[in-house]
């Protein structure tokens, strides 16, 4: 085969691969307690928000990036049809295409510095948003990526940074995931403290009783993780997964020994509260 012919085939294959990676609707769904409120496409977002070019030190790309983005507060007000100050009292779930589901408070999402990015400002060409593959799995981050401009907001363990975002839902965590709560545990118990940690650190990727994110493995059914892994191994893995195997799970060096013990207490409590509506062989 001539070099020109081979080059043409490679170009077509790469173009097809890139097209397949971006085969999703560039629209954002807004949901309240499971009921659709509105679906907004990119053209509508751009027409109703102050599109800005924002530069950040991106914690996933580990370098300076510049995005075309809408202020997050304006996006929320547009999608839910309410003034932003009324939305600050709500609880939210930010849902991504890959099954990631990050809880966040309305007060946090309304803070100055939050933006909904829809294109890489340096790489976008026409209708092509120019997204670069992101994070350990090298995924396409579109259609939308929540980013934060204030350096105090740059820790994904504290502020939500979901990429592949396609749905913003108003819902209390306990109403969406009723079977992750350690019912019967006292509010001041280690198990309940572990539940709060799990809700903030883990539920975006992991499920308990099939409720939660689906990026990582289910942790309670059919068997709880504490039923087949020693507690010390679980804690060591949470703190530094890459010491065990190559994985997309992030390290959690900020969790104290006490917090890791509280997570184990939560998992231990939940092993006696299994709820699984899916039959297992």
Return the pLDDT at 280. 54
Flag whether pLDDT at 28 surpasses 60.
yes
> Considering the chain, what is the average pLDDT of its residues?
89
| Cα separation, 34 vs 77, whole angstroms | 18
Say if residue 13's pLDDT is above 50: no
Residue 9: the pLDDT is 37
Report the pLDDT value the prediction gives residue 52, as an integer from 0 to 100: 97
One DSSP character per residue, 27-73 reads EEEEEETTEEEEEEEHHHHHHHS--EEEEEEETTTTEEEEEEEEEHH
Q: What is the pLDDT of residues 67-110, one digit of tens each?
A: 999 999 999 999 999 999 999 999 999 999 998 999 999 999 99
Q: How confident is the model at residue 21 (pLDDT cuts 50, 70, 90)?
A: very low
Measured CA to CA, the distance from residue 142 to residue 271 in angstroms comes to 37
SS3 category, 273: coil
The residue ranking higher by pLDDT, 9 or 82, is 82
Q: Is the pTM of this model over 0.85?
A: no
Query: pLDDT at residue 247 above 90?
Result: no
If you average pLDDT over residues 128-156, what whole number do you get?
Answer: 94
DSSP code per residue over 127-178: TB--PPPBTTTTB---SBEEEE-SGGG--TTTS---SSEEEEEE--HHHHSG
Report pLDDT for 279. Answer: 56
- 277 pLDDT band, cuts 50/70/90, is confident
pLDDT at 89: 93
User: Which of 16-20, 34-38, 55-59 is predicted with the least confidence, judged by mean pLDDT?
Assistant: 16-20
**Tokens at 85, concatenated:** 């100050």
Distance between the two ends of the chain, CA-based, in angstroms?
52
Nearest-angstrom CA–CA distance, 91 and 44: 25
Q: Which tokens is 89 given?
A: 């009292």
Percent of the chain residues past pLDDT 70, beyond the cut: 91
The DSSP bridge pattern shows strands 165-170 and 27-32 to be parallel
- Give the Å distances, CA to CA, from 91 to 19, 27, 33, 81: 35, 22, 10, 16
When pLDDT is averaged across residues 120-140 and rounded to a whole number, the result is 94
Region 242-254: mean pLDDT is 89
Domains identified in the chain and CATH numbers: 25-173 (3.90.420.10), 177-270 (2.60.40.420)
Mean pLDDT computed over 11-28: 55
Average pLDDT over residues 14-41: 76
CA distance 70 to 279: 44
pLDDT digits (tens, 9 = 90+) for 262-275: 999 999 999 999 99
Q: In percent, how much of the chain has pLDDT > 90?
A: 76
Give me the pLDDT at residue 23, please: 61
Angle in degrees, 0-180, between the axes of helices 190-201 and 257-270, rounded to the nearest 10: 100
User: Mind listing the pLDDT tens digit for each residue in 188-227?
Assistant: 999 999 999 998 889 888 999 999 988 899 999 999 999 9
Q: Above 60 in pLDDT, residue 3?
A: no
pLDDT at 16 over 50: no
């Amino acid at each position: 085969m001539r070099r020109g012919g081979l080059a043409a085939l490679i170009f077509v294959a790469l173009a097809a691969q890139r097209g397949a990676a971006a085969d999703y609707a560039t629209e954002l769904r807004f949901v309240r307690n499971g009921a659709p409120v509105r679906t907004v496409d990119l053209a509508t977002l751009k027409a109703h928000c102050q599109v800005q070019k924002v530069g950040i030190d991106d914690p996933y790309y580990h370098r300076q990036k510049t995005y075309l983005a809408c202020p997050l507060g304006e996006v929320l007000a547009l999608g839910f049809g309410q003034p932003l100050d009324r939305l600050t009292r709500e609880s939210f779930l930010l849902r991504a295409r890959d099954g990631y589901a990050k809880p966040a408070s309305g007060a946090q999402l309304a803070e100055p510095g939050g933006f909904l990015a829809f294109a890489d400002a340096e790489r976008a060409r026409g209708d092509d948003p120019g997204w670069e593959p992101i994070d350990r799995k090298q995924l396409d981050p579109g259609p939308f990526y929540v980013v934060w401009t204030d350096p105090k907001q740059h820790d994904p363990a504290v502020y939500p940074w979901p990429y592949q975002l396609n749905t913003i839902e108003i819902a209390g965590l306990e109403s969406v995931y009723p079977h992750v709560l350690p019912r019967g545990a006292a509010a001041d118990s280690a198990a309940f403290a572990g539940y709060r940690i799990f809700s903030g650190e883990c539920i975006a990727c992991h499920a308990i009783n099939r409720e939660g994110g689906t990026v990582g493995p289910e942790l309670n059914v059919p068997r709880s993780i504490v039923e087949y892994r020693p507690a010390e191994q679980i804690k060591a893995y949470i703190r530094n997964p890459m010491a065990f195997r190559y994985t997309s799970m992030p390290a959690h060096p900020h969790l104290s020994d006490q917090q890791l013990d509280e997570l184990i207490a939560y998992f231990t409590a939940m092993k006696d509260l299994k709820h699984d509506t899916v039959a297992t062989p």
